[in-house]
Amino acid sequence: MDISELDALQTSLNGALNAFREELTKAKLPELSTFSLEPHPLDSPEYLPSPRLYEARRLALACVGQLKTLLQSPYEKVVEHTLAPYDAVCLDIVLRTGVIDKLSEEAYRTTGLHVEQLHRFLDLDPFKLTAILRYLAAEGWLHEKNEGVYALNRPALELCLGKNGRKWALTRGKAKIANSLLDAITKPEWKYSTSPLETAFQLSHHTPLSLFDYLKANPAELEQWANSVRTYGDAAASALLVDFPWKSLNSQTIVDCGGGQGYLTISLAKILEDVAFVIQDLPEVIPITRVNVNRESPAAAQQGRIVVEAHDFKTPQVRRSGKTTYVFRLVLHDWTDQDCTAILRNITAIHGTVKVIIIEHVALPCTISSTPQEQCDESLRMLIDAEKYATASPPRYVPLNFGVCAKMNLGLGVHLLGVYNARERSLREWDSIIRNAGLRITLVCPLRAKLSVIECDVVAVDGESD
């Protein structure tokens, strides 16, 4: 007999939660608690969950997202969604007014603070604070212990000093750019533009400059922006080191193109002792990169095993000798298809044994199957004791991209549209860019993170061997 959407999602959610619990126990991890005053090991970007734990969590979240859509009144969904700008605004307020810092002080971590106390400490109106704090508590950010008394909860720990979530959240500009997106995509002269000079960024910031040129002229913003980009890479760093077979690149040179602050190279240099690295970026970024490399990898920097240099990847590649792999992490998603092809062609033009590695989110469609197919239970079972990560196939009524689990990347994709006229791409779209550049995909490696690795080599032409 056919089962309903509610039954199917409930069954899948139960299966996912059971698998999640089993994996927690196997890994000797503590129970999850939103009230905890300590981060859970799973909250650390360094912790790499077992493949089954990672997939069970993804599936459970996807089911919860689908169940919410199924159960919620459509009108309430509309109202919630249109009020969503306040999600970001309220988070910004508690960060910038010092509410989070006050609540994170040792004396108040457990007890929390009444809005009247926050008013005295921070000179903020308790009536106004209540609207903001209770909204955030309902969104799962704070714990309202008693009426008007707020304490940090586990998610809010990510907003405390030194945490990656805080660095990301404090980078300004997203709301401003979002407010100009409608104008940018309907402006008659710009609506079909692919130029990064004709976007919501220029409209919202009243500038003719691209984001990169704007940051060059505003060094303080450049540093903040670079730090937030770093956190996005950090979130995938441990999975990236384990899930992709980096050892196959031993005894060669790796060029980290648009390498930013250099953290990808810094972590790869620890596991690939037989590889020489070159980090390339724009001249204004290079001083930050140099400081980081000298601090984090002093020996490799001194031996010249990590070289840092200014290079514009829109010009012909200067590192072109021997066996070389060119890595682009979170770089190409900032560029239009034509620009990506042109950037990659600078590599294809090199003769020799050349590989290209692209590390990006690979977007899947949000299509939903309602016909019986391989049960997700089965793919989660296949992952029992698995060391190698593989993605589980979504069960009935769960989107191919696991719905809400893709929101972080797709949200960033809309932001990229607002900043560069770019967005996150599907594998078919990557494949088209890669082929147009004279490359071909040799491996697509999903990670226990929101990114995948696409490995490519150069297509041989005119009898040339690749």
Ligand X SMILES: C[S@@+](CC[C@H](N)C(=O)[O-])C[C@H]1O[C@@H](n2cnc3c(N)ncnc32)[C@H](O)[C@@H]1O
Applying CB under 6 A, the residues found at the interface with ligand X are: 212, 229-230, 233, 258-260, 263-264, 281-282, 285, 312-314, 329-331, 334
Written as one letter, the residue type at 428 is R
| Residue number, 282 or 307, with CB nearest to ligand X | 282
What's the distance, Cα to Cα, between the start and end of the chain in Å? 55
Backbone angles phi and psi of 346, in degrees to 5 = -65, -20
| Residue number, 20 or 263, with CB nearest to ligand X | 263
Give me the least distance between CB of 236 and ligand X, in Å please: 9
| Residue number, 167 or 329, with CB nearest to ligand X | 329
- Return the structure tokens found at 218: 């505003």
Give me the least distance between CB of 282 and ligand X, in Å please: 5
Give me the least distance between CB of 378 and ligand X, in Å please: 35
Written as one letter, the residue type at 261 is Q
| Residue number, 118 or 331, with CB nearest to ligand X | 331
For the chain, how many helices (H) and strands (E)? 22, 12
- The DSSP element (H or E) to which 237 belongs, if any, is helix 219-243
Distance of alpha carbon 75 from alpha carbon 73, whole angstroms: 5
Give me the least distance between CB of 412 and ligand X, in Å please: 10
Identify the bridge partners of residue 441 per DSSP, sorted by sequence position.
456
Give me the least distance between CB of 368 and ligand X, in Å please: 31
Written as one letter, the residue type at 237 is A
Sign of CA dihedral 36, 38, 41, 46: positive
Q: What is the CA radius of gyration of the chain?
A: 24
**Which residue in the shown chain puts its C-beta closest to ligand X?**
260
Cβ contacts of residue 104 below 8 Å, gap of 6+?
A: 152, 157, 160, 161
Give me the least distance between CB of 242 and ligand X, in Å please: 17
**Strand 324-329, strand 253-257: pairing:** parallel
Cα 387–391–394 angle (5° rounding)? Answer: 140
| Residue number, 163 or 216, with CB nearest to ligand X | 216
- Return the structure tokens found at 348: 């294809």
| Residue number, 263 or 430, with CB nearest to ligand X | 263
Give me the least distance between CB of 312 and ligand X, in Å please: 4
| Residue number, 153 or 280, with CB nearest to ligand X | 280
Give me the least distance between CB of 311 and ligand X, in Å please: 6
**Residue 109 DSSP SS3:** helix
Cβ contacts of residue 84 below 8 Å, gap of 6+?
A: none
| Residue number, 358 or 405, with CB nearest to ligand X | 358
